[in-house]
């Protein structure tokens, strides 16, 4: 049965897939032990402060709760709590939830769409795990903030910038991970409005960011007057027509979550397509370069975070597929994790205070529009999704998303 799914890949991609074994239960245990110990030793420095989005020379610096990325650090702490039951993690995460509540009440650096990345792994997780009422209140305020960016003309949540400005009238593929906050808010408040906006955004996003060959656009612009789809463009990928490795992974996990909440069968086909494109564009060790344009044998930096995100998406979608296909995606995810564990995870706290090396945040190229930072470093979502994928391999996990 596995052969049927492998046969859909090119010979080269199938050979690479076959070469990497799956992560074993023993390795998952060791990876958790190392990660939880690393997180615990960070708590004194990073309880009243947060880890920066990316490490510098392998080490995160402390920042205030002002970036779009701080929820990942709190999410790591919750995952460590969930795995170990150690109250030190819970105490630290609760302190951080108070900070998230203050942030949304005072609208500190929340003028963008990343409310899901911020408030799901921190506050929704705290509510789901320990019934944190502060977490719940904060996350509902964050959902309100997120729907305030919905553009009726075009039917999408505007990612960044001044609302309605033509140069910012776009959605980005990453937002597929922000909308689960709205499905959660609809369920908790009994107000369907949140879910209706989420449905419309997901529909618009998937109708436009997926290309015919199932590679993906990072961002997509719409006409401000008519709402008609205008054009795709990259920000963090190598060039407009290429597939940014993390964007493709957001597409894999995003379609799995879209299916979780809508059960629209068409989303399974999109998931299969974007996953296959991903698998066809990986180097020998199955951890992508920062853009899928690059394959084996070149010196471009990797994006290890992309592999963890893709693993989480495959493990999520496996819950809804018939057993042979589910098994294929579970095995694929376990191979990505094996490779990350063996060759990318931090082995010695002296080399880094993060969990996974060789990730790329923002790599400037002659053809993209992003700044240059966090290249070949740890980053906070790379660490978070590595832990989440470990948790998903370890048990039938109740998702934070
Ligand atoms: N969501 C921004 C990024 O993936 O870098």
Reading the chain (401 residues) residue by residue, the pLDDT tens digits are 688 899 899 999 999 999 999 999 999 999 999 999 999 999 999 999 999 999 999 999 999 999 999 999 999 999 999 999 999 999 999 999 999 999 999 999 999 999 999 999 999 999 999 999 999 999 999 999 999 999 999 999 999 999 999 999 999 999 999 999 999 999 999 999 999 999 999 999 999 999 999 999 999 999 999 999 999 999 999 999 999 999 999 999 999 999 999 999 999 999 999 999 999 999 999 999 999 999 977 789 999 999 999 999 999 999 999 999 999 999 999 999 999 999 999 999 999 999 999 999 999 999 999 999 999 999 999 999 999 999 999 999 999 99
Q: Which of 116, 205, 236 maximizes ligand 1 atoms within 8 Å of its Cβ, making it the mutation to test the pocket?
A: 236
Smallest CA-to-CA distance from 116 within 183, 203, 216, 187 is with 183
Taking the C-alpha atoms of residue 135 and residue 283, their distance in angstroms, rounded to an integer, is 41
Atom of ligand 1 nearest to the CA of 114: 1
Active site residues: 114, 174
CA of 306 to the centre of ligand 1 (A): 10
Atom of ligand 1 nearest to the CA of 362: 5
CA of 172 to the centre of ligand 1 (A): 9
pLDDT at 1: 65
Atom of ligand 1 nearest to the CA of 236: 5
CA of 174 to the centre of ligand 1 (A): 6
Nearest CA to ligand 1 atom 2: 174
Does residue 246 have its Cβ closer than 6 Å to ligand 1?
yes
CA of 320 to the centre of ligand 1 (A): 27
Beta carbons of 329 and 344 less than 8 angstroms apart? no
Question: In angstroms, what CA-CA distances link 352 with 5, 83, 289, 378?
Answer: 38, 22, 21, 8
Taking the C-alpha atoms of residue 276 and residue 100, their distance in angstroms, rounded to an integer, is 37
Distance of CA 11 to the CA centre of its chain: 29
Does residue 174 have its Cβ closer than 6 Å to ligand 1?
yes
């Amino acid at each position: 049965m596995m052969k049927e799914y492998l046969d859909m890949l090119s010979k080269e991609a199938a050979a690479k897939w076959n070469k990497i074994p799956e992560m074993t239960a023993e390795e998952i245990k060791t990876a958790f032990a190392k990660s939880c110990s690393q997180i615990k030793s960070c708590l004194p420095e990073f309880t009243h402060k947060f880890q920066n989005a990316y490490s510098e020379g392998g080490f995160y610096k402390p920042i205030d709760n002002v970036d779009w990325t701080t929820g990942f650090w709190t999410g790591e702490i919750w995952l460590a709590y969930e795995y170990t039951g150690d109250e030190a993690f819970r105490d630290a995460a609760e302190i951080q939830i108070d900070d998230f509540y203050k942030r949304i009440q005072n609208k500190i650096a929340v003028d963008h769409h990343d409310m899901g990345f911020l408030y799901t792994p921190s506050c929704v997780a705290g509510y789901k795990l320990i019934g944190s009422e502060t977490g719940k209140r904060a996350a509902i305020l964050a959902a309100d903030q997120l729907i305030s960016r919905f553009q009726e003309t075009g039917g999408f949540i505007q990612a960044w910038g001044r609302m309605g400005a033509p140069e910012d009238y776009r959605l980005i593929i990453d937002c597929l991970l922000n909308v689960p906050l709205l499905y959660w808010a609809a369920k908790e408040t009994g107000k369907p409005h949140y879910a209706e906006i989420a449905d419309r955004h997901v529909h618009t996003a998937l109708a436009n960011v997926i290309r015919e060959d199932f590679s993906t656009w990072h961002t997509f612009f719409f006409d401000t007057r008519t709402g008609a789809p205008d054009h795709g463009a990259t920000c963090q990928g190598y060039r407009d027509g290429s597939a940014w490795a993390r964007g493709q992974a957001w597409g894999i996990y995003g379609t799995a979550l879209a299916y979780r909440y809508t059960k629209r069968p068409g989303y399974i086909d999109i998931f299969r397509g974007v996953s296959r494109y991903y698998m066809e564009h990986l180097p020998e060790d199955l951890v992508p370069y920062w853009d899928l344009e690059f394959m084996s044998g070149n010196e471009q930096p990797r994006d290890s975070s992309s592999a963890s995100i893709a693993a989480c998406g495959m493990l999520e979608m496996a819950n809804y597929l018939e057993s042979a296909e589910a098994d294929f995606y579970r095995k694929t995810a376990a191979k990505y994790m094996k490779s990350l564990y063996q060759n990318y995870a931090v082995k010695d706290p002296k080399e880094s205070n993060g969990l996974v090396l060789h990730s790329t945040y923002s790599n400037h190229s002659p053809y993209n529009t992003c700044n240059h930072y966090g290249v070949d470093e740890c980053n906070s979502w790379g660490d978070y999704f590595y832990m989440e994928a470990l948790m998903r391999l370890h048990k039938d996990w109740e998702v934070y998303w």
